[in-house]
Amino acid sequence: MTDPQPPFDQDEYRRRQRERARIMAILLLAFVALVFGITIAKMGLYE
């Protein structure tokens, strides 16, 4: 006999979605800052 499945937890589903969205937002902002830094550094290389 197998254990019954616990009920689907909508709040847990939403919590994970929010967690991933928050991390993605932080990573995208960091990426924008990095590309800005790369651009400035590259401009300096060719001056």
Partner 1 sequence: MQNAATDMPRYPASAADLFALTKPRVMSLVVFTALCGLLAAPETIPTVLGFTAILCIAVAAGASGALNQWYEADVDAKMKRTRGRPLPAGRMEKRTALHFGVGLGAFSVLLMGLATNYLAAAILAFSIFFYAVVYTVWLKPRTPQNIVIGGAAGAFPPLIGWAAVTGDVTLLPVLMFLIIFLWTPPHFWALSLFVKTDYDAAGIPMLPVVAGNAATRRQVVIYTLPMVAAAIAPWPLGLTGPVYGAASLVLNAVFLWLAIRVGMNKAEDPAAMGPEKKLFGYSILYLFALFAILTLDRMFFA
Cα 19–21–25 angle (5° rounding)? 120
**47 binds partner 1, rule: CB under 8 A:** no
* Interacting residue with partner 1 among 16, 25, 28, 29 (CB under 8 A): 16
Distance (Å, rounded) from C-alpha 21 to C-alpha 14?
10
**37 binds partner 1, rule: CB under 8 A:** yes
Q: Give the DSSP letter of residue 38.
A: H
Which residues of this chain interact with partner 1, rule CB under 8 A?
A: 5-6, 8, 12-13, 16-17, 19-20, 23, 34, 37-38, 40-42, 44-45
